C-alpha cells in the first residue's frame, strides 16, 4: 500500500480565517510552559478502523484493515467546526476487548505500511 501523509487544512472552509480556536489556546499554554512544545490542541481527534459491522466477524485476526484519523477545531471568526487534518491509516485486526459501546480492536493503527 502507498503511504499517505496527513492532509492539513490551515484555513476555515467557510470564511478563510486561519486561527483555529483550540490551536490558539494551546499556543497560550505552551508559551507559559504548561504544555509540551509538540502537543497539538484541538476540539477532537478520532482514529479507528473502517469496518462493516455485518462482515467484521468474517475478517480474520491479523488481517490488515484500512483506518482513519482526523483532527477538528472551531473557527474563531465564524464558529464553523471543521477538520484541520485527515489521514488514511491501517492496522491489524486483533481480539475484541469487551467494552460496552467501545470500538473494535485494531492494533498498530498508524500510517499505511507501518502496522
Per-residue pLDDT of the chain (115 residues; tens, 9 = 90+): 333 678 999 999 999 999 999 999 999 999 999 999 998 899 999 988 888 889 988 999 889 888 888 999 999 999 999 999 999 988 888 875 555 555 555 555 444 433 3
Radius of gyration of the chain (CA): 17
**3-state percent helix, strand, coil for the chain, nearest multiple of 5:** 15, 35, 50
Among the listed residues 13, 15, 30, 35, the one whose alpha carbon sits nearest the alpha carbon of residue 84: 13
The domain spans of the chain are 7-52+59-111
Measured distance CA(19)–CA(35) in Å, rounded:
19
Amino acid at each position: 500500500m502507498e503511504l499517505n501523509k496527513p492532509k492539513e487544512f490551515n484555513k476555515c472552509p467557510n470564511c478563510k480565517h486561519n486561527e483555529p480556536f483550540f490551536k490558539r489556546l494551546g499556543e497560550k499554554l505552551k508559551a507559559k510552559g504548561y504544555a509540551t512544545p509538540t502537543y497539538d490542541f484541538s476540539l477532537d481527534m478520532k482514529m479507528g478502523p473502517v469496518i462493516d459491522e455485518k462482515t467484521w466477524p468474517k475478517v480474520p485476526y491479523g488481517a490488515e484493515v484500512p483506518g482513519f484519523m482526523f483532527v477538528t477545531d472551531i473557527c474563531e471568526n465564524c464558529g464553523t467546526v471543521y477538520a484541520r487534518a485527515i489521514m488514511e491509516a491501517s492496522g491489524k485486526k486483533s481480539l475484541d476487548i469487551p467494552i460496552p459501546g467501545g470500538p473494535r480492536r485494531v492494533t498498530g493503527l498508524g500510517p499505511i505500511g507501518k502496522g
